[in-house]
Amino acid sequence: MTAYISSEKIKQNSEILSNRIRKRYAHLKKRFARNNIDCFRLYDWDIPEIRLVVDWYVGHLVIGEYVRTQSSSYWLAEMANVIGKTLGVPKDNIHIKIRRTKTENELRYKRMDNKEQGFVVNERDLKFKVNLSDFLDTGLYSDHRDTRDILRKYAKGKDFLNLFSYTGSFTCASA
């Protein structure tokens, strides 16, 4: 039998997560603004019972849950609502993703929508177009930012062949 998360536990999770997100945003927003960086990870499953990843993209939130059997769509919706309220982000700018570590006869990275509403974000002096709604991934991994910067320095003035080009951001950074 699967035990579901109680409404009391959801309330506790909401309060803990809201406090964590508020503090992280206040700290990270200033740091990244100084370097002209528009997108960054706010939360990465820091609290074991709150299995979320939360990324900030210039006034938009991408919230991904690592699926578990005791979770429900209500829990995820409530966590997304709390994060949005904490940061003053409207519901239309909150993008919820379900992350699976194992798929059951289904494509892991299939198209989820056809909105094709991308927008440009800054990463230092580079610009990247992201799409927050149509796919599981946005087209730019914020946790690879430092690696792109290192590659850019090493590739300067050299030919560069990118043999692994899932999003193309490393190719752009090396140009």
Which position has the token pair 């580079």? Answer: 126
CA distance 23 to 42: 9
CA dihedral 47, 48, 51, 53 (to 10 degrees): 40
Q: Which has more confidence, 83 or 71? A: 83
| CATH classification number, 7-99, choose in 3.50.40.10, 3.30.750.80, 3.30.70.580, 3.10.20.30 | 3.30.750.80
3 — pLDDT class (breaks 50, 70, 90): low
Q: Which has more confidence, 3 or 61? A: 61
pTM exceeding 0.85: no
pLDDT digits (tens, 9 = 90+) for 90-137: 999 999 887 665 556 555 556 556 666 788 999 999 999 888 876 566
- Per-residue pLDDT, 134: 60
pLDDT at residue 33 greater than cutoff 70: yes
Percent of the chain whose pLDDT exceeds 90: 48
86 — pLDDT class (breaks 50, 70, 90): very high
What stretch(es) of the chain map to CATH 3.30.750.80? Answer: 7-99
- Per-residue pLDDT, 7: 85
Q: Which residues contact 89 (CB under 8 A, 6 or more apart)?
A: 59, 60, 61, 83
From residue 159, give the alpha-carbon distance in Å to each of 137, 147, 175. 28, 18, 9
Q: Which residues contact 50 (CB under 8 A, 6 or more apart)?
A: 13, 16, 17, 43, 79
Mean pLDDT across 42-49: 91
pLDDT at residue 1 greater than cutoff 50: no
Mean pLDDT across 139-156: 87
